[in-house]
Structure 1
Amino acid sequence: MAKQELLEKIQGIEILPGSAIYDEIHLLKANNEQLLMKMNGEYHSPKEIRMYLEEITGKILDESVEVSQPFYTDFGKHTSFGKHIFINQNVTFVDLGGIEIEDHVLIGPMCRIITVNHLVDPKKRRGLSVAAVKIKENAWLGANVTILPGVTVGKNAIVAADATVTKDVPDNVIVAGSPATIIKEISY
């Protein structure tokens, strides 16, 4: 199944263990883990890292994208990168639900962008649901930020270090805390 087709198929559904789609996801995840081990197992130049990420995502990356090692993504195929992006070390993308990183985004060390959740019903707890995350142009995620499923971080927004973002962040604001709340508007 094509990656875009898979992404569209899993939006808004419960993905239950034992289902064909659940098994397919875990097979693709295992293949991605092999590539990540090769990429993170030793030092690679920025160009080599982009080459690995192109294989992991199945998309061409602009030469202006900089990703520090180690970088982790559990699925890999549902992430897209714009231009002039900097991602610091020890960042994790759980991207089964889709992650879009627009141009000029900065992502601090140890950030986590999560698009997958387990189900609330205890009988289905090992099942999954997904919701896409979008980080808009010129946003900045400080160190150790967590972005949860379904969130959009607005254009020029800043997410302060250690924040947990549970709902959309408007354009041109600074948010902080857990859950993150607006602490300041950015004027320019």
Structure 2
Amino acid sequence: MNLAELLEYIGNGEPLIAGTEAFACMERYSHEAMRLTAELNGAYHTPDAVRDFMARITGREIDPAFRLFPPFYTDFGKNIRLGRNVFINACCCFQDQGGITVGDNALIGHRVTLATINHGLRPEERGVHHLAPIVIGKNVWIGSGAILLPGVRIGDGAVVAAGAVVRSDVDAACVAGGVPAKIIRRIS
């Protein structure tokens, strides 16, 4: 299985199951992501070099206005899509097998975790990885330490408060916070 086939398989909502060809393919790209993020995080790099690392990690062109303050962690890398003028602060973790899309002008604070995988609940099903994409709209601000769980969508212009655990969608132009996150107010 090649990367295009794996991404199509994932895009069709299929689970990744330990011991399968799809899982083995994912693991190959995971090791590449670990190597590249170790190189990125191991020394100072200019902003241009950071963008080059992200292009290699994601396999996609990166906008010249993209900014990232390392360290940055991802365990796959090839299912991240970044819009224009995105900023990602230090110590973020992107578990992107299920797909992560970040819209234009989004700001992602320190230590944000984006998790697109759930394991099977029963012990004998823990090798089954259920994937669901995270979609972050345009002009979104994700506060420090927030955690976004599989399948959530953050609407354009929304704010996710620091430390929030987001397990359901956040409407556009709203502030969400808490554990679990709920709408706190609308942005006028």
Shorter-chain TM-score category?
Answer: over 0.9
> Does the aligned pair in 2 maintain the 1:3–1:78 contact within 8 Å?
no
- Counting only pairs closer than 5 Å after superposition, residues 1-188 of structure 1 correspond to structure 2 as 1-10=1-10, 11-187=12-188
Q: Aligned partners of 1:81, 1:23: CA distance in 2, in Å?
A: 26
Once the two structures are TM-superposed, the CA of residue 2 in structure 1 deviates from its matched residue by 4.8
Quote the Cα distance in structure 1 between the aligned partners of 2:107 and 2:50: 17
How far apart, CA to CA, are the structure 2 residues paired with 1:4 and 1:105?
Answer: 27
Shift of the 180–4 alpha-carbon distance from structure 1 to 2, 3 Å rule, reads: farther
Between Structure 1 and Structure 2, how many residues are aligned? 187
Write the distance in 1 (CA, Å) between the matches of 2:30 and 2:15: 18
Asked whether the equivalents of residues 175 and 187 of structure 2 are also in contact (C-alpha less than 8 Å), the reply is yes
Q: Which amino acid letter does the alignment assign opposite residue 147 of structure 1?
A: L
What 5-or-longer segments of structure 1 have no aligned partner? none
Contact 2:81 2:101 in 1 (8 A): yes
Alpha-carbon displacement from aligned partner over 1:19-67 (angstroms, at most 9, x marks no partner): 1111111121012111111111001011100001101111010110001
CA distance in 2, matches of 1:3, 1:135: 23
**Letter paired with 2:60:** K
Moved over 3 A (4+): 1-5
When residues 4 and 157 of structure 1 are mapped into structure 2, their CA distance, relative to the original with a 3 A threshold, is farther
Identify the range of structure 1 (142-151 vs 123-132) with the bigger mean alpha-carbon deviation.
Answer: 123-132
CA distance in 2, matches of 1:58, 1:138: 24
* Matched letter for residue 35 of structure 1: L
Rounded to whole Å, the distance in 1 between the matches of 2:187 and 2:54 is 33
Q: Identity percentage over the alignment? A: 37
In structure 1, how many angstroms separate the alpha carbons of the residues matched to 2:28 and 2:65?
A: 31
Whether contact under 8 Å (2:90, 2:110) holds in the other structure is: yes
Unmatched segments (≥5 aa) in structure 2: none
**Counterpart amino acid of residue 62 in structure 2:** L
Contact residue 160 and residue 177 of structure 1 kept, 8 A: yes
Offset at residue 12 of structure 1 (A): 2.4
Distance 2:13 2:59 in 1: 24
**TM-score (ref. length: structure 2):** 0.96
TM-score, normalised on structure 1?
0.96
The Cα of 1:147 is off from its aligned counterpart by 0.4
Taking the aligned partners of 2:8 and 2:22, their CA distance within structure 1 comes to 12
SS in 2 for 1:182: strand
Q: Give the Cα–Cα distance (whole angstroms) in 2 for the partners of residues 4 and 155 of structure 1.
A: 29
